[in-house]
Amino acid sequence: MGDDLMQAGGNEALEKPVAFDAKLAAKAHIYDLRAGKYFGHSDTIHVALDPWQPSLFALVPAKLPAGDIIARLGALK
């Protein structure tokens, strides 16, 4: 670790979770790809951002049939 980083106090602030609402340009059907859950049809996503794992969402114009979300998204190609 360089002297500059040690003097600045490290990265503690970057290692804390952050929650916020992400506003979309238009409504979409929202899927949480990590949890495999449907969040609904909205123009806002509440995001609980973990510093160690990315949040992954799929925004699609039409609701997908029930089942494996990842497989359904792959079939949209």
Q: Tell me the pLDDT tens digit for each residue of 8-50.
A: 667 887 789 999 999 999 999 999 998 889 999 999 999 999 9
Order of strands, sheet of 57-60, starting from the edge strand that comes earlier in the sequence:
37-49, 18-32, 57-60
- Write the CB contacts of 15 (distance below 8 Å, at least 6 apart in sequence): 51
Note the pLDDT of residue 20: 96
Segment 46-63 mean pLDDT: 92
The residues with which 60 forms a beta bridge, in sequence order, are 29
Segment 62-69 mean pLDDT: 83
